[in-house]
Structure 1
Amino acid sequence: MKPLDKKITEHFAGLVVRKDLVKAVKGNAIVPSYVLEYLLGQYCATSDEESIQTGIQTVKEILAKHYVHRSESGLVRSQIREKKLRKIIDRVSVDLNDKEDVYQATFANLGINKVAVPASTVKKHQKLLTGGVWCIADIEYQHNEDEKSVPWILESLKPIQLSSFDFDGYLDARKRFTTDEWIDTLIQSIGFNPEAFGKRSKLLQLIRLIPFCERNYNLIELGPKGTGKSHVYSEFSPHGMLISGGEVTVPKLFVENRAPYKIGLVGYWDCVAFDEFAGKSKRVDKALVDIMKNYMANKSFSRGIETLGAEASMAFVGNTQHTVAHMLRHSDLFDELPPKYHDSAFLDRIHFFIPGWEIDIIRGDMFTADFGFVVDYFAEILKQQRNFDYSHLYTPHFQLSEQISTRDRDAINKTFSGLVKIIFPNQDATEEELEELLAFAIEGRKRVKDQLMRIDQTYADVRFAYVRPDGKELLIKTLEEDTYPTIYHKSGDPSDEPIETTAKSTDVSAAMSKPAGSPEEGHVTVKENQRGVDFDTLFGPYVQGASKIVLTDPYIRMFHQARNLMEFIETVDKVKSDDQRVEVELITSEEEFSPEKQLEFFEQIQKNCLPSGILFSWGFETGIHARHIVTDTGWKVLLDRGLDVFQKYEMNDTFTLANRLQKHRACKAFEVTYLRQ
């Protein structure tokens, strides 16, 4: 077991589960992960392999015996009639039959309805009235000659949710983890492998959780298909409801327009998420947009003569069809929304815009087989924290720019508070850690405001910045702003002249646009998740014309690192003339555990490069720290990460552009400095 898994199982005994077990037990049962993990938490919340296997078998038997498949509903009803079965797992919804003054349940998969439910049960579990809840229920069948009677009798009903938890114990256990360990624990709890994500990508995943722990939080995520945008809202918490963006109505979401005013989803769920929210051709009810705008701004809505309040957060997720550059050049980053939602007043209510284009399409290696919280347990922790407000924690150290409006300030504070709840529930973050979360919260709101300025020219420019304790002001930029400086601040009119906002010496986009063959001294900074970077433009001009190149990088050991080396040599091959011989010498450290594999990589590179006139050699040194490229033409290129600048990508898929072209890969954060010796 990994050290982190040992720590998790030690301090959260009985509250964690190995995440790959969900797939092992799910089979063809169409149930959310929190239902399966609830069952796994009863039988597999242990690190003992034998107990886990026994627990898996038990859960499989429970699902096989009690979960109702729609295709087998007739058989299950027959078994209940014959007294062979009484306990079932199904999605149950309840309605009030006001003519008979009784509550009646509908069992989605079993296919029965009008089953009488005690008022006490409904009062205890009111979410039964709004869309349904997964439950374990005991049902009996008793036929009656009365045609109006229903033969199905509900003996007991228990929603599949954690009954109790120890919040103080949670806070105490959190103290045993470093910040990085805790973030990785949370990522594993969501179901992902933290090794497949950089720090920024992990924070983007955690932003998705804020609607569950922050009241009236409005979040939007737009990006390519297949990035897992709706996963958290459909699978992670019994307190969230995922609905199709085109299927919601005012009565369903807010309240019926007739007395008695029956409140909708926002009155019962912590988070209401709208799936498939994008789509220009979608028909949208203008009345719904208007009441939603009021609710998102004021936490209340009016229907009839009454004003009602609610605490549900809202999350909007949708797919984009175009690249970021295309949207910035021709419209804005909200371009895919239906026209009635592509409205500045509505979008101004959004607290954070998750850039879905930064999140990779889900691959197999992104899922974890390690331990994480039983999601129902963590869902209750998040729900408990809705009562807290941590937005004040940064104020002793940092001050927001006075130009930031009240609405912008509220958005930043809510995001900051949510991240603190998730990562630092004990409010014990260092000043540096608080600054990182504050900058991230500002960027998410700035992304919204920058697009509003494209949509509505009446919005004034805002200086999104904060002041450090030493009085220095730090200006925040979005990643898109750094990547596309010449079109980011362009208005929606394609005829407008682009505005350059970033100095070329520190902007990677400017560095990427430098003409080949004109190397200059300077410095390039690349942010995590930035794309558009390749070795040809980073190094090509600086190795051109060299006959001897020495690369010093202590970490050329694993396959992906050797591949980076090969791609660097490909750049050398592209810029040299056909009749030129170039020596490329690598100085690195020897692999401790499998040196023979490392040697095999180098020997293959050496053999295959020789016919092209590239003489590759290598040498091992111990204690190497510096990473750089030195040429006999007088250039020294300092590399703070060496050649290992790209995040994980699918190297086994020939038909993935990221496999073929470096510019399509997401980068790690790194810096390169060019010096003339």
Structure 2
Amino acid sequence: MSEIDATLLKKLEENFAGRFVRKDLTARIKEGANVPTYVLEYLLGMFANSTDDEVIEQGVQRVRATLANNYVRPDEAEKVKAKIRERGSYTVIDKVTVHLNTTRDRYEASFSNLGIREVVTDSKYPEEYERLLSGGIWCIVRLSYFFEEESGNSPFILEKLDPIQIAGLDMQEIYDGRKNFTTQEWMAVILRTIGLEPLEFTEREQLLLILRLVPFVENNYNLVELGPRGTGKSHGYKELSPNSILVSGGQTTVANLFYNMARRQVGLVGMWDLVAFDEVAGINFKDKDGVQIMKDYMASGSFARGKDQIQARASMVFVGNINQSVDVILKSSNLFEPFPDAMSGDSAFFDRIHAYLPGWEIPKYKPAFFAKDYGFITDYFAEVMRELRKQSYSDAFDKYFNLGDQLNQRDTIAVRKTVSGMVKLLFPDGIYTKEDLEKILSFALEMRRRVKEQLKKIGGMEFFDVELSYKDKESLLETIVPVPEQSSNTLIPNGRPKAGQIYTVALDSQARRCAYSIESQMTGGNGKFAKTGISGHNDAKEAMDNAYRYLKKNSGEINANLHLDQQDLVVNVSNMNNLDMTKELTIPTYIALVSIALNRPAIESLVVLGDFTLNGSVKKVDSLADTIQVAFDSGAKQILLPSQSLSELSTIPDNMQNQLTFIPYDTVETAAIRALGFK
């Protein structure tokens, strides 16, 4: 054990005696026991809570023996019932829920795996262990059997009950204990609690892993994590807490998730603190209004069913796989692409996401990543997280920072929720510095900006305000928080392109705005004109032919020495977003031909917009703001556009206008002259 780990273990022993366990023991027993991790670790905490190897080994054997002899497996329930009857009494491990039978004025217990109900229960148990009444507790229970036909009671009798989950919690223990750990040490304890070795991850990766826990501590928090397979995206929502549920397969109903009208019973969002959807691509509501109800719930924590307005606090988590590199996806689509069709084009749905965790930044798990040192007993930490839901630190940064002007109300709510959740996890005692808050605030803004960047791709100018920022109240310095993957998403390189190459933005055949590269080559010949990259697209072919014919007819307007009948020209068009072809190619093709014919490249980082008719009349650009947005995102610094479109520049945000140079043209010839920098 390293000196750092020895120091951390000493602090755990001094501040959280009996609340921690060695994490590699869980993996050893888990392989042969289909029992939740939080139950397993509670047993380890009872029998193997020591630093002495011999004591630990004895404890592990006791845990195994206890599970083998007493844990009730659902498929063996009848066998266990028979044992109770034949032996007179028997001890079982099962999840027990207690309710008050008001008709008979008594408490009755239900056993989850054993499948028995209405077992008369002494009132001292629900009084001492309140969680029996709200969701149930895994317990060691001594049951006996006595059948009395006339009594109408269950023949099973509860003799003794001992919880094997945390039945009570003193949060003061957490508040007092946290003060004795540095932030780095506390993060290490949290990561080992969830089974990961902190020394194997960078600080950035550690923060991302801790962000996965925010839905456990924050009410009505909506999180998305998409990334490659093998990074543990869904594991925690199934194993780390008895208060969360992982919905596998994606098929669900409004009745199951929200409210069953027939039974007048709230669904999963009312029963659990967190509902996670595994494999978002498979999410499918049998009900037509399912997505709309989900949107309402994600926005307000409530939904309407019949005449009732139902409130619930469950957080929503969406996890799934991304099968391509992020760079490729950003060029061809958006980072919400894996969602099903019912959601993928719905900007209002995605606008309700508070944070997008970049799962591609978390490395694929390997054996060295799993913790072998000490962390909190999972069930203990699960209860700590549940208790933290009652607090809020959403205003924690208000003393030091203001949010920037580009944050709307939903952005503000999202950022405050993320900040609150991260503060609860890292500083549950509420003691933090300005530097701590600045790091968390910047992190929260990035997670929300990732959502906004994708909304901009889906919804256009409505979501253009993506430069989320914060302002230091003391220095008045404003910091715009970037999104790492966006900085590498420049399609149009800096500097002048090679001669014959032109960039444009236009609608493809599916009405999607895309960036296109037009490249031309010229060799000696007899006036042949070839086109590549447009196979099967007759509209594109016709537009390029029109551009060539216009140039041949009016070449003297550009340069008297252009002899196109002595040259062979080839023009290739490619969609830089890997999507479909466009027919808006007359102006860019014309300029590309002039550029190669004169061996003169276009000016730096230029995007050419516009189209012209057979007689050379220049057309106005449709939806100029959205078109320029795509050009700007693709790396353009200068925009060549028809003069009649200048009146629409007022629809473009000032910050984007300030970063672009707009070059107008009235005629086809003027467009070529200005694109090539002649004047």
What band does the TM-score fall into relative to the shorter chain? Answer: 0.5 to 0.7
Counterpart in the other structure of 1:324:
326
TM-aligned CA deviation for residue 411 of structure 1: 0.2
**Alignment partner of 1:443 out of 446, 449, 469:** 446
Q: In the aligned structure 2, how far is the partner of 1:125 from the partner of 1:108?
A: 17
Q: Whole-Å Cα distance in 2 between the matches of residues 258 and 126 of structure 1?
A: 29
The equivalent residue for 1:513 is: none
Aligned to 1:257: 261
Structure 1's 131 and 182: CA in aligned 2 closer, same or farther, altered over 3 A?
closer
How far does residue 30 in structure 1 lie from its aligned partner after superposition?
0.9
User: Are the counterparts in 1 of residues 137 and 165 from structure 2 also a CA contact under 8 Å?
Assistant: no
- For residues 341 and 98 of structure 1, the distance between their equivalents in structure 2, rounded to whole angstroms, comes to 45
**How far is 1:186 from its partner?**
1.0
- 1:485/1:311 CA distance change after superposition, 3 Å: same
Identify the residue that residue 87 of structure 1 maps to in structure 2: 91
* Contact residue 9 and residue 47 of structure 1 kept, 8 A: no
Aligned residues: 495
Structure-2 residue corresponding to 1:241: 245
Match of 1:481 among 480, 483, 486: 486
Deviations along 1:411-453, whole A, 9 cap, x unmatched? 0010011111111123322222211111110011111111112
Identify which of 221, 224, 231 aligns with 1:220: 224
Alignment of 1:453-464 (within 5 A): 453-457=456-460, 459-462=462-465, 463-464=467-468
Indicate the SS of the match to 1:390. coil
Q: Is the 8 A contact 2:250 2:282 kept in 1?
A: no
* Whole-Å separation in 2 of the counterparts to 1:460 and 1:369: 46
CA distance in 2: counterparts of 1:338 and 1:320, whole angstroms: 13
Residues 2-151 of structure 1 aligned to structure 2 (within 5 Å): 2=5, 3-83=7-87, 86-91=90-95, 107=111, 109-110=113-114, 112-116=115-119, 134-143=138-147, 151=155
SS in 1 for 2:389: helix
Deviations 1:213-261 (A, max 9, x none): 11111111111222111121111112222222524322222222146x2
In the TM superposition, residue 106 of structure 1 has moved relative to its aligned partner by: 6.3
The answer to whether structure 1 residue 395 and structure 2 residue 395 are counterparts is no
State the SS of the aligned residue for 2:320: strand
User: What amino acid maps onto 1:454 in structure 2?
Assistant: K
Name the CA distance, whole Å, in 2 between partners of 1:127 and 1:301: 27
Paired position in structure 2 for 1:472: 477
| Paired residue secondary structure (2:342) | coil
The C-alpha deviation readout for 1:615-637, integer Å capped at 9, x for no partner, is: xxxxxxxxxxxxxxxxxxxxxxx
User: Which amino acid is the alignment partner of residue 367 of structure 2?
Assistant: G
1:166 paired residue number: 170
* Separation of aligned partners in 2, 1:273 and 1:266: 10
Q: Which residue in 2 is equivalent to 1:629?
A: none
1:394–1:61 CA distance, 2 compared to 1 (3 A): same
Whole-Å separation in 1 of the counterparts to 2:461 and 2:126: 49
Q: Which of 374, 382, 386 is residue 385 of structure 2 equivalent to?
A: 382
Q: How many Å separate the matches in 2 of 1:482 and 1:204?
A: 19
In the superposition, relative to structure 1, how do residues 212 and 144 fare at CA in structure 2: closer, same or farther (>3 Å)? Answer: same
Q: How has the CA–CA distance of structure 1 residues 17 and 61 changed in structure 2, closer, same or farther, with 3 Å as cutoff?
A: same
Partner residue of 2:195? 191
Contact 2:251 2:286 in 1 (8 A): no
Cα distance between partner residues in 2 of 1:266 and 1:123: 26
Give the stretch that moved more between structures: 316-325 or 404-413: 316-325
Matched to 1:312, the amino acid is: A
Q: Measure the CA separation in 2 of the matches of 1:36 and 1:96.
A: 29
* C-alpha distance after superposition, 1:105-135 (max 9, x if no partner): 765544x345546697889989889987644
Partner of 1:271: 274
Q: Which amino acid aligns with 1:472?
A: L
**Structure 1 residues 487, 98: CA separation in 2 closer, same or farther (over 3 Å shift)?**
farther
State the SS of the aligned residue for 1:136. Answer: strand
Q: 2 CA distance for matches of 1:150 and 1:118?
A: 11
Contact 2:98/2:136 (8 A) holds in 1: yes
Deviation sequence 1:308-335 (CA, Å, 0-9, x none) = 2122212122222322123212221111
Shift of 1:485: 3.5
1:18 Cα deviation after fit: 0.6
CA contact (8 A) 1:29 1:69 kept: no
Give yes or no for contact 2:174–2:428 (8 Å, CA) kept in 1. Answer: no
Structure 1 residues 624-662: Cα deviation after superposition (integer angstroms, max 9, x where no partner): xxxxxxxxxxxxxxxxxxxxxxxxxxxxxxxxxxxxxxx
| Distance 1:97-1:50 versus aligned 2 partners, 3 A rule | same
Bigger shift: 187-196 or 298-307? 298-307
Indicate conservation of the 8 Å contact 1:126/1:268, yes or no. no
Which segments of 5 or more consecutive residues in structure 1 lack a partner in the other structure?
500-677
Aligned to 1:335: 337
- For the pair shown, the structure with the greater C-alpha radius of gyration is 2
C-alpha distance in structure 1 between counterparts of 2:440 and 2:76, whole Å: 50
2:238 and 2:246 in contact (8 A); partners too: yes
Change beyond 3 A, Cα 1:294–1:26? same
Q: Which of residues 293, 308, 311 is equivalent to 1:309?
A: 311
- How has the CA–CA distance of structure 1 residues 204 and 117 changed in structure 2, closer, same or farther, with 3 Å as cutoff? farther
* In 1, Cα distance between equivalents of 2:445 and 2:492: 21
Contact kept? 1:277, 1:316, Cα under 8 Å: yes
- Cα contact 2:141–2:162 (8 A) shared by 1: yes
Segments of 5+ residues of structure 2 without an aligned counterpart are: 494-504, 518-679
Q: Does 1:353 align with 2:356?
A: yes
The one-letter amino acid paired with 1:242 is L
Equivalent residue for 2:297, pick from 282, 292, 295: 295
Identity %: 44
- Partner SS, residue 343 of structure 2: coil
Q: How far 1:464 moved relative to its partner?
A: 0.8
Classify 1:224/1:156 alpha carbon distance in 2 versus 1 (closer, same or farther; 3 Å).
farther
Task: Give the counterpart letter for 1:286 in structure 2.
Answer: K
Q: Return closer, same or farther for 1:483/1:155 CA change in 2, 3 Å cut-off.
A: farther
Match of 1:452 among 443, 455, 469: 455
Residues 119 and 57 of structure 1: CA distance in aligned 2, closer, same or farther (over 3 Å):
closer
CA distance in 1, matches of 2:142, 2:446: 51
Letter of the aligned partner of 2:338 in structure 1? Answer: E
Distance in 2 (CA, whole Å) between partners of 1:164 and 1:123 is 11
Q: Residues 224 and 414 (structure 1 numbering): CA distance in 2 closer, same or farther, change over 3 Å?
A: same
Q: The residue matched to 2:289 in structure 1 has which SS?
A: helix
- Distance in 2 (alpha carbons) for counterparts of 1:366 and 1:21: 15
CA positional deviation for 1:302: 1.7
Alignment-mate amino acid for residue 168 of structure 1 = Q
